[in-house]
Amino acid sequence: MQEQQTMQSMDQPINCRTAEGDIRVLQSEKANVVSQVAQGATAIAPAGIVVGVLTGTEATKRQVAAGDYNAQIDARIAQIRSKCKI
């Protein structure tokens, strides 16, 4: 659920008045994803993870999903910093 909210917030226009707080939230979300992957959570993974469970590639798919998600967060942080000159 948190991941869905984060993805939706990344689609919103950048607000430089809240930029520093937005960056903190995004960085916190990245740390949360790393923690979830370490604990074996699959909530961040796409629906294809179910197939991964059956084929034995679940862990790899989970890591890729987390990496993609974190890359999107990094890109958003870079956009915020660039636009707001932080």
Q: How many domains does the chain have?
A: 1
Distance set, CA 20 to CA 4, 28, 79, 84 (Å): 21, 12, 12, 9
Which amino acid makes up residue 79?
A: Q
C-alpha to C-alpha distance for 63 and 61, rounded to whole angstroms = 5
- Per-residue tens of pLDDT for the chain, all 86 residues: 566 677 777 788 999 999 999 999 999 988 877 777 667 655 544 444 444 444 454 555 565 567 788 888 999 999 999 999 99
Residues of the domain holding 50: 2-84
Residue 16's contacts (CB-CB under 8 Å, 6 or more residues apart) are 83, 84
Helix (H) or strand (E) holding 48, with range, is none
